Amino acid sequence: MLLTPEVLTIDILNLLFVVFATLAFYYSVKILYRYDPNATTLLQYNLEKQSYLVSVVIKFIFYTKVVLFIFFIFTLDDISNILPGAMCGAGVVNATQYGTYLLILKVINLYIFAYWLVLNSEDMKSEQQIYLQLKLKVYLFAYFLLILETGLESLMFLSIDTKSVVDCCGAIFSTTDGTYMAYLLSINPIMLLGSFYALFAFIVFAYKIKNRYLFSLMNLLFVIAALVSLIGFFGTYIYELPTHHCPFCLLQKDYNYVGYLLYIFLFIGTFFGIVLGLVPFGKEDENAKYKISLFFTTLYVVAVSYYPLAYYIKNGVWL
């Protein structure tokens, strides 16, 4: 069982989230079954007021969860200092059987929680609350993911044994083991880079023709290509070491915390791109989200492309 100030903070916040999220879940179900926007009874008036209160509670939880994701990553890195063998957050994630599933779920939840926040924002702009039913249904789904995430997080921190030796990122992201990660890292760099830049080109093309569904799909695929190429290719140039593939070490002081910047660029760019295909915004909002998405995605592409180019200019060879 691990109890550091950071872990205690996360546990206390999780407890508050579960209590308030469960209350919001109860009222969401009640509103979904009983609310009739065409009725003018006292019951409907009360339900409308409750829907506003529920939205405020959920908005607070999801905004906090999105920001808390960065704190969670920071906590993993911090814990690695007390685990024998761990050199970064990768060792902590691999220290228990729950870490990998938790990290994947947290990334998925990040996009779902942010999607609900956008739906709620659009719903509040409309006097008829046109997205009320949809955002409540999305919340019911998100609630179960939130509970699952909280459970996995508690299990992970409870299962960590600070006396057991764990694998460092060099072993986890090794290219010699017969693991899925080793297979991923053995993909031809030309194929990796071809997919990465081709998808970015398709994003630019979809922006030019203003096809929001194509733009959304390309951004969804780009997230996968960006993460795989970062681990398999671009990361090695940031470390200037061909055998170093860890996506967590990018978050450390030795590399100027560049990982935080890269992951934030990637999330903002792809999220606003994906959400364009899910919500029919007004013309002005749609154009703004196109520009935000393309701006941050381009920043990400320029930032990761800089490292191999700078390395080649400085040394005259590729890794």
Give the pLDDT of residue 196: 95
Confidence of residue 60 (pLDDT cuts 50, 70, 90): very high
* For range 2-29, the mean pLDDT: 91
Confidence of residue 83 (pLDDT cuts 50, 70, 90): confident
Which of 112-116, 130-134, 309-313 is the least confident region? 130-134
The string of DSSP codes covering 137-162 is HHHHHHHHHHHHHHHHHHHHHHH--T
- The structure's pTM equals 0.90
The 10s digit of each residue's pLDDT in 183-215 is 777 778 898 899 999 999 999 999 999 999 999
Look at residue 290 and tell me whether its pLDDT is greater than 80: yes
Look at residue 176 and tell me whether its pLDDT is greater than 70: no
Give the pLDDT of residue 29: 92
Q: What proportions of the chain, in percent to the nearest 5, are helix, strand and coil?
A: 80, 0, 20
Q: How far apart are CA 117 and CA 241, in angstroms?
A: 40
| Contact of 250 with 258, CB cutoff 8 Å | yes
- Compute the radius of gyration of the chain from its Cα atoms: 22
